[in-house]
Structures are given as structure tokens and as C-alpha cells.
Amino acid sequence: MQLLKDKIITEGKVLNNSILKVDSFLNHQIDPLLMKEMGEEFARRFQNDKVTKILTIEASGIAIAVMTGLVLNVPVVFARKKKSSATTEDTYAAEVYSYTKAEYNNVTVSKRFIAPGDNVLIIDDFLANGEAAFGLANIVRQAGCNIVGIGIVIEKSFQPGGEKLAGAGYRVESLVRIASFENNQVNFA
């Protein structure tokens, strides 16, 4: 997706040849026009898959998931990283490791919001090792739902996440794939 590549080139910052900082348009400050374009692209890619729910993880995936849900006209559910004190209902849970924050989170989704038979599209902002996607897939399986695919905004294809997900039988659609970081510059796949 050229618009996203251009944004990464002009506004992204590579730190220590390992982390791509995109907080000026994706995960701190949000560029609504870019979110709209990405949502439309994910909707186009999954338009024939009878999606009934979109699942993401808080917080960075929410904006993209909402835009995709708007185009597909389906609800968006997000997994919470911290259990709310107001939550008294049954939840599905999975442990997820965050590569960027180097911490584990026990993410939860209320059983009220995904039901057996739902066709779920998982959306996330980054794919590195696949931990978040596998955690969300675990929740979808617990609920007895079908996973139609996993939509990723930025995939670090030099890390094993994409291959691990494909090897597990998941359809992964990444808007941008990064082959490497060299001299703190992005090389696209």
C-alpha cells in the first residue's frame, strides 16, 4: 500500500535497527485519512469472507479495526489488556507477549461479544513474532468462531511471525512488509 509506505518513509523512525516508531500517524497520534484508506483496503481484501466480527487488541489496532468495520458494516471488538473493575462477566483470555514493551499481558474479551459461528477477522497494527495474533486467535478458537484471516498494517517479515501464522494455517494479509532495517532505514519487501 503506497500511501502507508510513503508515510513510513516520511514520518517513521527506526530505532536501533529493530523498532519502527510510527507514533506520529498510527499509534499515538492518528491520521484519520490514512486509517480510512487502510480500513477500505482491508475491507476490499476480506469482502468475500462473510466477516461478522472484527477482533483487535487495545490500543493501536482499534482505529484501523473501526474503519474496517465501518466499511464492512460489522461490529468491532477489542481485547482488553487490563481487566476493568466493572467487568463481572465471563471472559475469554489469552496471554500475549508484547515485543515492543517487553511484557506479558493477559488479554480478555467478554463472552457476550463473540459467539460460536462468528466469522472473525483479526486486525493488528504490527506483526513481528506473532504473539498478539496467536493470542487473539486463541480467544477466537475458545469462542468456537471461525478465523477468516489476519489483517496486519506493518509486518516485519524478517521476524518469524508471518511464517509461524502461515504455518499454522492462517491467511495473513499485510498492507506493508518490511524486509529489514539497515542504518536505521526501512527496506520494504
| pLDDT band, very low/low/confident/very high, at 97 (cuts 50, 70, 90) | confident
| pLDDT band, very low/low/confident/very high, at 60 (cuts 50, 70, 90) | confident
Q: What is the pLDDT of residues 68-78, one digit of tens each?
A: 999 999 999 99
pTM of this prediction exceeds 0.75? yes
pLDDT at 143 (0 to 100): 95
Quick check: 85 pLDDT over 60? no
Q: What is the pLDDT of residues 115-163, one digit of tens each?
A: 999 999 999 999 999 999 999 999 999 999 999 999 999 999 999 999 9
Query: Which domains does the chain show, CATH number per domain?
Result: 2-188 (3.40.50.2020)
What is the residue-averaged pLDDT of the chain?
A: 92
Long-range contacts of 11-19 (CB under 8 A, 24+ apart): 12/186, 13/184, 14/181, 14/184, 14/185, 14/186, 15/184, 16/184, 17/181, 17/182, 17/183, 17/184, 18/181, 19/100
* DSSP helix/strand/coil, 82: coil
Q: What is the pLDDT of residues 20-29, one digit of tens each?
A: 999 989 988 8
